[in-house]
């Protein structure tokens, strides 16, 4: 209402020539602006509504298009476990794991706050071929990991974990959290999808109920273009706002 009153007062202050035609244009612009703000506001209100998944198939259905992250693709993420028994290859803290999003392939990444060992995921499903995939291992004595994205535009994410002892994992994303029970040696999927694709998160935390160590891998991300629609709506709203308060044409 206050916006409409401001527009009306602005119109009254102008000279009458060509006002009628310009007035109709601004009515349309006002409708676009209000509609755009309503959509953006609704999306932001949905931001904290997160659904967690412990089944990968259900997560895939929820996100639609998705991309698996290969830790050993030989071009971008070139992690290879040690061939020497008793010698670990350490994946350093804050070392990027690059994401294969289309359009911006391997320019964005995520990393962990602590060093992990690079190991073969014995018995894990390999989404890129045959044999055991490369996964990361949190050594015994640690039970918490924080993952941080290079650009906070990841609206959904997923991975698999395998603890060495019966564990209760707590995953925290934004203001939401979920607990997932995983038996010793079991490989379990953990993922999440917000209530709106416009939601995005810069990090997540995974906490194990004990410090016996666990492996994590088979990371998967949704199509990276999912946040674009909200940006388009915002730009339309800004264009409409510019027309609303542009000076009226001078009298003939």
The structure's pTM equals 0.70
In the chain, list all ranges with CATH 2.60.120: 49-224
In this model, does residue 196 exceed pLDDT 80? no
What is residue 14's predicted lDDT score, i.e. its pLDDT? Answer: 57
Is residue 192 scored above 80 in pLDDT? yes
CATH of 49-224 among 2.60.200, 2.60.40, 2.60.120, 1.10.357: 2.60.120
Range list of H helices, the chain: 2-12, 19-45, 56-63, 228-244
For 217-234, write each residue's pLDDT tens digit: 999 998 864 343 344 334
pLDDT tens digit string along 89-134?
Answer: 999 999 999 988 666 667 889 999 999 999 999 999 999 988 999 9
Comparing 152 with 51, which gets the higher pLDDT? 51
Long-range contacts, 29-33 (Cβ 8 Å, 24+)? 29/240, 29/241, 29/243, 29/244, 30/3, 30/4, 30/240, 30/244, 32/236, 32/237, 32/239, 32/240, 33/3, 33/237, 33/240, 33/241, 33/244
At residue 193, does pLDDT exceed 60?
yes
pLDDT at position 163 over 60: yes
**147: which 2 tokens?**
């993952």
Q: Decide if 179 contacts 246 (C-beta within 8 A).
A: no
Look at residue 232 in the predicted model and tell me its pLDDT: 39
* Model pLDDT, residue 107: 80
68-84 pLDDT, tens per residue?
A: 999 998 778 889 999 88
Closest CA to 163 of 120, 213, 121: 213
């Amino acid at each position: 209402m206050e916006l409409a009153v401001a527009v009306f007062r602005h119109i009254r202050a102008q000279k009458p020539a060509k006002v009628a035609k310009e007035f109709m244009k601004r009515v349309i612009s006002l409708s676009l602006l209000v509609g755009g703000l309503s959509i953006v506001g609704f999306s932001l209100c949905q931001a904290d509504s997160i659904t967690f998944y412990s089944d990968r198939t259900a997560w895939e259905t929820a996100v639609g298009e998705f991309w698996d992250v290969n830790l050993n693709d030989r071009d971008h993420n070139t992690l290879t476990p040690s061939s020497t028994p008793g010698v670990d290859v350490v994946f350093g803290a804050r070392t990027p794991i690059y994401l294969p999003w289309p359009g911006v392939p391997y320019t964005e990444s995520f990393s962990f706050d602590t060093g992990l060992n690079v190991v073969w995921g014995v018995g894990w499903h390999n989404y890129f071929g045959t044999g055991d995939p490369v996964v990361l291992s949190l050594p015994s004595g640690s039970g918490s990991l924080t993952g941080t994205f290079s650009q906070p535009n990841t609206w959904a994410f997923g991975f698999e974990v395998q603890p060495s002892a019966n564990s209760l994992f707590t995953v925290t994303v934004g203001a939401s959290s979920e607990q997932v029970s995983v038996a010793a040696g079991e490989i379990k999927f953990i993922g999440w999808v917000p209530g709106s694709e416009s939601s995005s998160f810069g990090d997540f935390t995974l906490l194990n109920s004990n410090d016996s160590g666990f492996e994590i891998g088979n990371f998967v991300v949704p199509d990276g273009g999912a946040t674009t629609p909200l940006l388009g709506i915002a730009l339309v709203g800004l264009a409409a706002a510019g027309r609303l308060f542009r000076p009226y044409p001078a009298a003939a």
